[in-house]
Amino acid sequence: ACSRQRSGPRPSPCGLAGCPRCETIVVRRRRGGRAARRPAKGCARRATSPTRDFPFPVSSLQEAAVYYQLARAWNLVPSVFLVLVGAAAATRSAAPFTSPRVGATAGATAAVALGSMAVNDYFDRAPDAVNAPHKPLPSGAVAPDGALLFAGALYAAAFSVGACVDPAPLRWLIAGSAGVTLVYTPVLKRIPLIKTASVAAVIAAAPAAGALAAAGLAGLPAVTPAVVFAFLAVASRELA
């Protein structure tokens, strides 16, 4: 009855008035209680206009913040830290911290860690729509195609760097970690013990990668206790 009420059909989330394949999905966000609208599954404009998933203009900073949350980029710190710990333990010095090979290994490990988070959210977007609707994918802040492209870029960077470092066991270690994280959510996550062993092995591989980058195969004995401890600590946490 309000005289200022807008007449005619309201635009749908994709921007077309009365789009038959769209619906408004209201999601309460954690901060500020604002509502987010996104196109329904099947809308042709969803993949091509991901920024229309927001009910307000999206700046580059806001978009970066969304992808930061999707990749859970705070995992950069432990990923890089474990590689540096392995490199320092293998050489008993801080000299590897300035090594380009150690830096490249740390970057590849971080790219695998961030890419795996995006892949995990992509495959878990249906249960997350119920259990965690505030996440970037179920809330509509990021389109599924955008998440896949983002993860693909991170994995491509990891594989590219991994193919250029020596020795060969280091290349296989980076490639193996990337492969395990790629199939973790769609395949390995459904098998309890394999799931636990996969997560623990990928995390424990980081200090081993640092040792290989800093001192080659000769550096592995020095980090073996740390690798075993990391594997058992992560496995016990996953089983708890």
Instruction: List pLDDT tens digits, range 149-206.
Output: 999 999 999 999 988 998 999 999 999 999 999 999 889 988 988 999 999 999 999 9
Query: What's the pLDDT band for 49 if we cut at 50, 70, 90?
Result: very low
Strand partners, 11: 17
pTM: 0.71
Query: What's the pLDDT band for 132 if we cut at 50, 70, 90?
Result: confident
Return the structure tokens found at 165: 């470092």
DSSP 152-180: HHHHHHHHHHHTTSSSHHHHHHHHHHHHH
Q: Is 167 exposed, middle or buried (0-12, 13-18, 19+ CB in 10 A)?
A: middle
Query: What's the pLDDT band for 54 if we cut at 50, 70, 90?
Result: very low
Torsion-angle region of 42 (φ positive above 0: left; ψ -120 to 50: alpha; else: beta): left
